[in-house]
Structure 1
């Protein structure tokens, strides 16, 4: 491997490594705008210039590979002057709107100016800046401010190389260069949100985050996207301080690097699928039905009613008269406790999660999977596939009166079956429990509604389609009186006389790692922040 010296420090790196990445291994920061590790190298911004011994001029560190015995200097007066020159040209016509820019606090132009320049502008008051289009609508998700653009071409390369659609380009030349979409058409790819991630400045901003919260008010929590079975690694960005004074707590989801799962990208289906967490249809307190009316109740009252009715039906008709339909949106911990109580302790065999069309969503060739559930593989490995009947057959039995009680957990089955089939099935049951985070059509027929926490409000794990177990972490507290599903089922077990011992999600996972063959020996610590792929 080539051995070179950077700022008097030796480093050996693989052949063809760029000077910029070799310096990164030493912890030496070389500023840049256009370079991105997942995109082709274009050495357009000239911000990454360094001095190489015996070279006639400064070279771009992003595009020049290392050589054996190369000697590189990253902060000589010559390099510093070149960086200041680049920044001065970029800032010459750049709008001074940092106080209202959504990128403030995350802007590479701000950072690089503060670290490597701090020059005073030579622009005179009477000099006019070059003005360009502002607030350009690129479709339902993205807004473009061309005046803020530094022409790094990251967005152009991303659309062509990653999203697979050549939708953007650079038009005109010199200080009249404009970034935009071809023929002014809106963006159509399913990865538009990544443009705001890779844009080094505030030229491309997301409509759902625009003017909503300052970046320095956000708390960032590692988690897993619940949008499909890929299990993309994400950060949940949350805050209790908003500009618009809403009850919103989750402000955005951002991709988190995991080379084995999603690299550093996130599809728009997953990225923009979080509003349900703070939606006004959230279920926040238990409810019970008395006659035709349903009203709020405390947890003890609601769980006692569930316990009484399930015991009565079980004693009168046997455990085969009860059907349980958990959702693969639930975590491994949630599903395991469901199995523990209903199948192992109560002897119920009508338990299944697979509804018609559950894995038939629209997929793409990059990240988005047809199975729009984050934990279908986990449900299979934990044994939640039906022994006697699948979920659709359980509902059919309810419609015929063979299943007298239905316990539906975690998902809106109407999305798969339609209102007519759901209505027929639920109307045929004597007792219906819905346990979930948001109001849906099933709630209209439920005798008891138990409010559960959303994915951002609880700890746990998901198992993706490749059998990779990954950790989700609580970013915000459960809304009002809602509880994680595993905790609701644990509390129900104690009321029913089958007390389960779990006090936290980790207790459940530790038992899974002892009792379920595929998960043997795992722990939250071993999962880390990248997950562990099971040998199945």
Structure 2
């Protein structure tokens, strides 16, 4: 049980846990102690001295140890001769803290004056103006006038690009080290640091490219001055001109809470545009952080290439038409084919979109499925993490297993939170066929050969359980039994156990088998049905879990299912652009309807194409990988001639005699609550409920926690898995398909990159330099064997075997070769959504087109 300590701060009695720093104790009591360098998410350093206070401690008799009392019976207090830093001093029983005395005020005035001697008077043009801690604290604690001679003012460079995304103004920097400490302590990317000494001290970048981190934008949120700004917001707007809309990042399964800042601009023809994306505090999901993809990859929502009119194919050509004609054409085609309709929905869809899509297919007697390469949604519903789960609380009593996932590339904020849990003492087990950045923090690292993902996890079950399935030929690809037993025991011995599983090198059936193997391990170790225990799928897209919960499950043998359909209804799915086999299958389909943001390859094959609204223009809900349902709100006026997906589907349904909810997303959620049992308690009102969170951020607290927005729009609703509800969840066995042999050639395996070339990332005006050209990665051994060099331009054909040749293969993607020692011999890493048609491991043939320059 935590020991509590009682003290007095500015005559206010305060009771806090032992070890609490004075600055935090004061904040909990509603007392502001100003800070610049201190941040509640990082270790204290006491650099800025702004938090100086007088501290008195009870005097004790050296002989007896008893308190020495004054004549009136109160403890005698001994105050130190100097002011002390509240950010580095923990509380103690009976302590008295004074933060408003003349001595304290004089000390704070001196600190402010010292800082301003090196700070420019930029407030009228500074991007931080209006939300600047230095500006606010100068008004509250500064001397009121300066004794410094203006002609002696220090002048430094004011526009220093630390990279493509972050700009440094050296004159504004107060050397608090918040940015460098964040990069080193919090995210383990020490790519910026201090250089020189004294007034010449400056922030520099050590990486190439500059400030090479997935989390760089967060440094601008915690910077207490205008020294660090993002390139999209610098000199673009003032904070008080902006409107704020609460949203949810759609790019990955973390579901980070964000705020979209918008403004109407003359430069945009009077349209409302997004000026920046800011984090919104949710300590259960993303704390106060977001990754740079979530922050900067928003331009696709207002891209000039977005679809803006319905289209119908007439005489072989696509023609823009009015909505009524396009809706009628879609309805007529679906009515004609009835039960032959196959609807495919992707993870971009909201829960409301997916529900209506499924209802339409059901009403026609057809099928609705999710378009994804990953399985595991049922296992997440059975043994997913329970209510009350919070990664911020995980430490010594927790074991975290990450399998088949390069977590930083697939879900950066989860990587951050797992890393921090390990810093607090959690046992971290990384199970992957190649090295990832998480390895350096792992307690245990387990290597297996691609294809043995499920067998490796099942061998851990075998080490702990009497039920021992035969692992067959895959057992030879799994690690040695002694290594597995040690890791299995480490996981089993922990009080709490979490498993993250991804789709590194996996197709649908293999990932489904891995999900079941992970569920078995959780069941065998009793890590189900309790907070901070359970399964977390690392989905490829933000709402894969929600779409699955709406009843849209992926189909095995998708090409056969597509070619066997009479009509195809695609929403947020581009099978033709992803896989030539699916494109060929679509050629056999009589009628195709596509609703999309852009003119995709599938849309080019369609008979009817509908433009839909991005998440920034409509309302709805997403369900993240932890199965937390969260609500997002519109930030922009909807484009004319576009509709949200759920409304579009409902209008087609109306013409078919189906009564689907269409007036508002809230109406659709009411039907979801009535028909999907796990969502029966979900309402838009409950989704908007909030509670007080720690640390306090934004508003008058921005000097303390940063400019992250305080969450006033809802923390979401965590769904309970079946195991938490007391339902029996038993062991089950699923086996992945055998990998096709590559013979003497190479086997290509799909992997995930954060910055891909998908249509939600490529339009970014900021991330272009970070988005790589299409490439494959090979091991040094295979590069030597096949005479490949780093930088060679090659063509690749998937599904064929053979060694590299000098003759180009027809109709094969052209990519760059990367020689990477982290790639296992015999395999080629092929990033998904990079223009490479790969959904699952497959043999690959490589032909050299152009040699790299010497």
When the two structures are superposed, what TM-score results if normalisation uses the length of structure 2? 0.58
Corresponding residue number in structure 2 for 1:201: 225
The equivalences for 1:113-262 within 5 A come to 113-117=138-142, 119-125=144-150, 127-182=151-206, 186-241=210-265, 247=271, 249-262=273-286
* C-alpha separation in 1, matches of 2:665 and 2:218: 32
Q: Secondary structure at the match of 1:147?
A: coil
Corresponding residue number in structure 2 for 1:448: 608
Q: Secondary structure at the match of 1:22?
A: helix
Corresponding residue number in structure 1 for 2:720: 535
Corresponding residue number in structure 2 for 1:15: 18
How far residue 164 of structure 1 moved from its aligned partner, in angstroms, is 1.0
How far residue 241 of structure 1 moved from its aligned partner, in angstroms, is 3.5
Corresponding residue number in structure 1 for 2:386: none
Cα 1:332–1:365 change in 2 (3 A) is: closer
How far residue 352 of structure 1 moved from its aligned partner, in angstroms, is 3.0
Q: Secondary structure at the match of 1:3?
A: strand
* C-alpha separation in 2, matches of 1:23 and 1:236: 32
User: Does residue 32 of structure 1 match 2:35?
Assistant: yes
The equivalences for 1:301-320 within 5 A come to 301-314=325-338, 319=339
* C-alpha separation in 2, matches of 1:68 and 1:295: 78
Cα 1:83–1:411 change in 2 (3 A) is: farther
The equivalences for 1:299-448 within 5 A come to 299-314=323-338, 319=339, 321-343=340-362, 345-349=363-367, 351-355=369-373, 362-363=409-410, 366-367=413-414, 371-386=539-554, 389-390=555-556, 393=558, 395-398=559-562, 400=563, 402-413=564-575, 416-417=578-579, 420-421=580-581, 423-448=583-608
Q: Secondary structure at the match of 2:108?
A: helix
* C-alpha separation in 1, matches of 2:631 and 2:206: 41
Residue number among 286, 300, 304 corresponding to 1:280 in the alignment = 304
The equivalences for 1:77-92 within 5 A come to 77-92=102-117
Corresponding residue number in structure 1 for 2:47: 44
CA deviation string 1:20-44 (max 9, x = no partner): 1111122222211111111111011
Cα 1:458–1:144 change in 2 (3 A) is: same
* C-alpha separation in 1, matches of 2:207 and 2:370: 50
Q: Secondary structure at the match of 2:23?
A: helix
Corresponding residue number in structure 1 for 2:786: none
Corresponding residue number in structure 1 for 2:137: 112
CA deviation string 1:326-385 (max 9, x = no partner): 111111111111111112x11112533224799988336643685331111112222101
* C-alpha separation in 2, matches of 1:214 and 1:415: 41
**8 Å Cα contact 2:217/2:295 also seen in 1:** yes
**8 Å Cα contact 1:242/1:248 also seen in 2:** no
* C-alpha separation in 2, matches of 1:356 and 1:430: 28
How far residue 415 of structure 1 moved from its aligned partner, in angstroms, is 5.8
Q: Secondary structure at the match of 2:319?
A: strand
Corresponding residue number in structure 2 for 1:460: 620
Cα 1:231–1:89 change in 2 (3 A) is: same
When the two structures are superposed, what TM-score results if normalisation uses the length of structure 1? 0.91
Residue number among 620, 635, 639 corresponding to 1:475 in the alignment = 635
How far residue 279 of structure 1 moved from its aligned partner, in angstroms, is 0.8
User: Does residue 95 of structure 1 match 2:112?
Assistant: no
How far residue 397 of structure 1 moved from its aligned partner, in angstroms, is 4.5
Cα 1:213–1:414 change in 2 (3 A) is: farther
**8 Å Cα contact 1:109/1:201 also seen in 2:** yes
* C-alpha separation in 1, matches of 2:268 and 2:317: 36
How far residue 121 of structure 1 moved from its aligned partner, in angstroms, is 2.3
Structure 1's unaligned 5+ residue stretches are none
Q: Which has the larger radius of gyration?
A: 2
* C-alpha separation in 2, matches of 1:183 and 1:306: 53
**8 Å Cα contact 1:329/1:410 also seen in 2:** yes
Q: Secondary structure at the match of 1:252?
A: strand
* C-alpha separation in 2, matches of 1:365 and 1:356: 19
**8 Å Cα contact 2:410/2:540 also seen in 1:** no
* C-alpha separation in 2, matches of 1:267 and 1:474: 21
**8 Å Cα contact 2:358/2:368 also seen in 1:** no
How far residue 12 of structure 1 moved from its aligned partner, in angstroms, is 0.9
Residue number among 259, 270, 291 corresponding to 1:267 in the alignment = 291
How far residue 440 of structure 1 moved from its aligned partner, in angstroms, is 2.5
**8 Å Cα contact 1:356/1:416 also seen in 2:** no
**8 Å Cα contact 2:576/2:586 also seen in 1:** no
CA deviation string 1:464-504 (max 9, x = no partner): 11111111122222222212111111111111111224421
In the comparison of the two structures, how many residue pairs are matched? 521
> RCO greater where, 1 or 2, for CA within 8 Å and sep 6 or more?
2
Corresponding residue number in structure 1 for 2:663: 503
* C-alpha separation in 2, matches of 1:258 and 1:516: 26
**8 Å Cα contact 1:513/1:521 also seen in 2:** yes
How far residue 14 of structure 1 moved from its aligned partner, in angstroms, is 1.1
* C-alpha separation in 1, matches of 2:405 and 2:329: 37
Most deviating of 14-23 and 359-368: 359-368
Cα 1:357–1:283 change in 2 (3 A) is: farther
How far residue 423 of structure 1 moved from its aligned partner, in angstroms, is 4.1
Q: CA RMSD in A?
A: 2.4
